[in-house]
Amino acid sequence: MTAIQSKPERLNAILVNLRSSLPELRGAMVATADGLPIAQSFSDNTDANRVAAMAATALGLGKRINDTLGTGNLSEMSVSGLQGQVFIYSVGAKGVLAVVTPAGMNLGLLHMEARDAAQSIASIL
């Protein structure tokens, strides 16, 4: 008989699976739409509270841009730098998935895995 897992345990399991599918990821986290961290997995000592707040803010701004331009509901967005990228996926109305990648990441594989993870996360939240 399998023990029933809590929501945070289930969310952490999704992040573990995402990072094992894409071992080059620098980190991934699930946060509430208002910027509170729920689950995270980073390769370094990244401040999860800070990342959650910024990811939620970026998600909110992205939604406002889409609303203003009439491009429909926001599904995902990215921020690129010379050392890597951050991808922010909308997770229903309640959450956000942020994924940090190194430069040169296979974006097709990333999106395939991260979109699946976002759907799983949405079903939990």
Which residue in this structure is represented by tokens 């370094």? 44
| Confidence category of residue 3, pLDDT binned at 50, 70, 90 | low
Please, what are the domains in the chain?
7-124 (3.30.450.30)
Residues 8-67: tens digit of each pLDDT: 889 999 999 999 999 999 999 999 999 999 999 998 888 989 999 999 999 999 989 999
Distance CA 19, CA 17 (A): 5
* pLDDT score, position 82: 92
